[in-house]
Amino acid sequence: MSVQYAKDQPAGFKNHIKNVAIVGAAGYIGKHFTRELLKTGKHIVTALTRADSKNTLPEGVRKATIDYDNHESLVAALKGQDFLIITLSVRAPPDLTTKLATAAVAAGVKWVMPNAYGPNPYSQKMYDEMGFGTTFRQTIAGIKDLGLTPVILSCGFWYEFSLAGGLVRYGFDIANRKFVVFDKGDVKIHTSTLPQCGRGAAAVLSLPILPEDSASASTTTLSSFANPNPLYIQSFHVSQNDMFASLKRVTGTTDADWTITTESSYERWENATKVMKAGSGFNLDGKTPMSFMEAFGMAMYSRVFFPGGDGVADKDVANDRLGLPQEDFDEWTKEAVRMVKDNDLDSYGQ
């Protein structure tokens, strides 16, 4: 694809994103997108909400009431928007993204950030073995076929959410001091805090859309991250062993204070995949019941820790280009401990 320049665009072209619509603006990750976009002072943020929504929106956010089953209401809500951010629960109906994308095109929206916040989306084998590779590829292809340009935020799994989320996720039960080591615990992955995800989205939406001219062709722009170039960000590049060391530091504990067991990442993934297909089943111990959603989570998290580097971005992360801060690893481990202590755990994905 040839490089496009802002100076060559039709009259009236705006080389920046101003109006941003968010689905799930008060949700688990959406609230961080909303907060960081508002901080820039460059964006007008509109939350698309159902009439029966009880969520409290942050001050400064505009509200547009929608009905997902009414195409006209979606189009009306998206009129005048430059960019659509979609955040949905894993339990959301699979056709919602298509409904939103179709309405966005009708409303004249050009850009979309789809609901694909996770590990490297272009590791096709990993996504297939996580169980949603085909769905992901069909969704992105459908968005592009409609005429929208997707920007995929690849942030890895959310660090504090995953560390606090029990043995199914990063392998830690903080409350009961249990640690399941996957293989040797030394496979490093990219992982991001929720605020870092918010900062990443706000930073990329604050960039010029296109370089102004050939003299500025190397400038980082929004179009630099248009599909098939995903937006890779991270907070930390760490292994389970790194997480455990951090947990011991912030809790003042030693190995002797924890119950440590070892499981094969492959066997965890294989068993979880079988449970998903059956609808329910048991953990590897053959005794602990496992629901479909627990198996879904275990399959995803076990797979990303396979030896071979699938949990690491295959291109350089964009932190420096976006001006994202280097976060304190132990501080965010401490936040995960607080979440467990205060029972401040969201049911996303459960």
Each residue's pLDDT tens digit in the chain (350 positions)?
Answer: 567 898 999 988 999 999 999 999 998 899 999 999 999 999 999 999 998 888 889 889 999 999 999 999 999 999 999 999 999 887 888 889 999 999 999 999 999 999 999 898 888 899 999 888 888 899 999 999 999 999 999 999 999 999 999 999 999 999 999 999 999 999 999 999 999 999 999 999 999 999 999 888 889 999 999 988 889 999 999 999 999 999 999 999 999 999 999 999 999 999 999 999 999 999 988 889 999 999 999 999 999 999 987 877 656 899 999 999 999 999 999 999 999 999 988 654 33
pTM of the model: 0.94
48 close to 22: Cβ distance less than 8 angstroms = yes
**β-bridge mates for residue 181, sequence order:** 262
252-268 exposure pattern, b = at least 16 Cβ within 10 A, e = fewer: eeeeeebeeeebebeeb
pLDDT for res 65 = 96
Separation CA 330–CA 247 (nearest Å): 8
165, part of any domain: yes
Structure tokens at 320: 């420096």
**Residues whose CB is less than 8 angstroms from the CB of residue 72 and which lie 6 or more positions away in sequence, other chains included:** none
346, part of any domain: no
pLDDT for res 122 = 82
Whether 203 and 259 share a structural domain: no
pLDDT for res 58 = 86
131, part of any domain: yes
> Would you call the peptide bond into 228 cis, given omega within 30 degrees of 0 as the criterion?
yes
Whether 262 and 165 share a structural domain: yes
Q: Could you count the other beta carbons within 10 Å of the beta carbon of residue 226? A: 18
4, part of any domain: no
Strands 153-154 and 259-263, by their bridges, are unpaired
Q: Could you count the other beta carbons within 10 Å of the beta carbon of residue 321? A: 16
9, part of any domain: no
pLDDT for res 331 = 99
Q: Angle of helix 194-205 relative to helix 30-40, nearest 10 degrees?
A: 50
Among 232, 261, 292, the domain-final residue is 232
119 close to 311: Cβ distance less than 8 angstroms = yes
Ramachandran region of residue 266, left (φ > 0), alpha (ψ -120 to 50) or beta? alpha
pLDDT for res 3 = 74
Into how many domains does the chain fold?
A: 2
Structure tokens at 216: 């500025």
Which is nearest to 340 in space by CA: 159, 175, 170, 161? 175
299, part of any domain: yes
Q: Got the DSSP string for 201-220?
A: HHHHHTS-SS-SSGGGTTS-
**Residues whose CB is less than 8 angstroms from the CB of residue 291 and which lie 6 or more positions away in sequence, other chains included:** 280
Task: Give me the CATH number covering residue 49.
Answer: 3.40.50.720
2, part of any domain: no
Domain interval for residue 101 = 15-155+194-232
Whether 116 and 258 share a structural domain: no
- Amino acid sitting at position 60: G
Structure tokens at 310: 């699938």
List, edge to edge, every strand of the sheet that includes 83-86: 62-66, 44-50, 19-23, 83-86, 111-113, 149-150
Separation CA 305–CA 225 (nearest Å): 26
Among 232, 261, 291, the domain-final residue is 232
List, edge to edge, every strand of the sheet that includes 157-158: 157-158, 189-192, 236-238
pLDDT for res 349 = 39
Element spanning 338, H or E: helix 329-341
CB-based burial label for 118 (10 Å; 0-12, 13-18, 19+):
buried
Whether 125 and 273 share a structural domain: no
